[in-house]
Amino acid sequence: MPDRTVSSTAQMEAHKRAVAQIKESYTALPDGSSPRLAKATTNLFRFRDAGPTARLSARDLDKVISVDPESRTAEVQGMTTYENLVDATLPAGLMPYVVPQLKTITLGGAVTGLGIESTSFRQGLPHESVEEMEILTGDGRVVVARADNEHADLFHAFPNSYGTLGYALRLRIKLLPVRPYVRLTHIPFSDAGKCMLAMQEICDSGEHDGEQVDFVDGTFFSPEEMYVTVGRFADRAPYASDYTGMRIYYQSIRTRTRDWLTVRDYLWRWDTDWFWCSRAFGVQQPFIRSLVPRRWLRSDVYRKLVGLDQKHGVTARIDRWRGNPVHESVIQDVEVPIEKGSDFLEFFHDKVGMTPVWMCPLRAGRQWPIYPLDPGKLYVNFGFWGMVALPRGQFDGYHNRLIENSVHELGGHKSLYSTSFYPRDEFWRLYNGDAYWPVKRAYDPQGRLLDLYEKCVRGR
């Protein structure tokens, strides 16, 4: 314990130096430039041309400061990846309340943007486990925001603000106890309505077959084939499957009713193949996969390849050379009330046709003004990521706009980590401009940071 205390104290002192450095860096940025964090990784999918920008150094803000097993809390710097955070908490028998699926999502990024996983049916979204945030605001101040202090307005508006109100430098989060293994049960369905009903019953009761469940998500392969997957912590396991090499997790869902994973491998079960998106790079072919080092089978490698393709237009040129139709990127996560989930799946299969689709139930514990989900209401997050051929005569945004319209007609909401096509008035109505703008004016009165519409829709 003394060693841990000394280490934590040293880490906090290092954090204070890093805060002073980024504050000085922010003050020194040229006038008229839009600050952008200089991060090693990103999980955003906005590839539009940006205006004049200045890179804001976030050096030395990527560490876990401390983990306290007694209070079940952690002090974490904002640029810390969940991979590093999980590696720090698991030895203490703990994990964050919600661990997003991809290793290089940062804690600050998940809190100011999107983060969701199979604990969300009970624990909500990552920001709901945050007790305190230290934030560099648009006007250059460093403030500590909590739900009960003078910066409560910023604390509540920060989720889904995507860096337009400021940057999280340090967060204190609550942690959950874990056990060594997770037992999985994949429940098949051939009818979307029955699938949604079963998912709701499991989430409402917190049980399946008379046992408590700790994790719930699902996978849609076709209108006749979909699965709800429930997970339960276990102290022992008859075996532990490995999906970090030749075997592929999402394919196992279709062939196994019961499975076992170590808790760490469960948390990162989707990362090795970026859900199923690694197939676009050929690495689900056994021969090619056998040649790829395991350290390259991870989401951030694929994300860099996508970025290079977007930058150089390789796929678009090949499609033109082959005479293929123009494709649109459809990379979205949307939340739809569970009672409308089968309606959304029917629309999506008919109008977009992309499979598989990830299904993850979530329930917000309270109202968060900039991402206004109804507290206590069960939603399903549908995640879909890929390219879809455009009908003749249609332009980029066609499918995405259809999806936006459908989601909101069904009473749902859409995350803003990827491209959006809303008209300005519609956007501010859906994302609660009445709540956003007073906080924006209080903490960024000169508009040094882009506002939410300019950043997430116009892509500046």
pLDDT single digits (tens) 14-27 = 999 999 999 988 88
The pLDDT of residue 2: 39
Ordered by where they begin, the domains of the chain are: 2-178+447-456 (3.30.465.10), 181-269 (no CATH), 313-421 (3.30.70)
What's residue 5's pLDDT?
Answer: 46
Q: Alpha-carbon distance 193 to 305, whole Å?
A: 37
Sequence-distant (≥ 6) Cβ neighbours of residue 141 within 8 angstroms: 443
262, two tokens: 């170590």
pLDDT band at 41 (very low <50, low <70, confident <90, very high): low
Structure tokens that stand for 61 in this block: 């803000």
Instruction: Reply yes or no: is the peptide bond before residue 356 cis, omega within 30 of 0.
Output: yes
pLDDT of residue 114: 83
What average pLDDT does range 70-79 have in this prediction? 96
Contact 191, 109 (CB under 8 A): no
For range 438-455, the mean pLDDT: 95
Return the minimum-mean-pLDDT range out of 270-279, 301-310, 425-434.
301-310
Number of helices and strands in the chain (H, E): 16, 18
Task: Calculate what percentage of the chain has a pLDDT beyond 70.
Answer: 91
Give the separation between CA 273 and CA 248, rounded to whole angstroms: 7
Task: Count the residues in the chain.
Answer: 460
H or E element in which residue 169 lies:
strand 166-177
Q: Which residues of 93-124 are buried (b: 16+ CB within 10 A; e: fewer)?
A: ebbbbbbbbbbbbbbbbbbbbbbbbbbbbbbb
According to the model, what pLDDT value does residue 20 have? 92
Q: What is the pLDDT of residue 34?
A: 75
Q: Give the amino acid at 56.
A: L
Residue of higher predicted confidence among 94 and 312: 94
Q: Give Cα 337 distance to the centre of its chain.
A: 19
Instruction: Give the model's confidence band at 313: pLDDT under 50 very low, under 70 low, under 90 confident, else very high.
Output: low
- When pLDDT is averaged across residues 374-396 and rounded to a whole number, the result is 93
| Span of 37-41, 335-339, 410-414 with lowest mean pLDDT | 37-41
Which pLDDT band, with edges at 50, 70 and 90, does 312 fall under? low
61: closest CA among 165, 113, 134?
A: 134
Using DSSP bridges, classify how beta strands 357-363 and 215-222 pair: parallel, antiparallel or unpaired: antiparallel
Residue 423 pLDDT greater than 50, yes or no: yes
Mean pLDDT of the chain: 91
> What per-residue confidence (pLDDT) applies to 44?
57
Predicted local confidence at residue 59, as pLDDT: 76
Residue bearing the bigger pLDDT, 201 or 322: 201
Listed range (59-63, 264-268, 360-364) with the worst mean pLDDT: 59-63
The residue type found at 111 is V
Q: 159-196: per-residue pLDDT in tens? A: 999 999 999 999 999 999 999 999 999 999 999 999 99
Q: For residue 3, what pLDDT band results from cuts at 50, 70 and 90?
A: very low
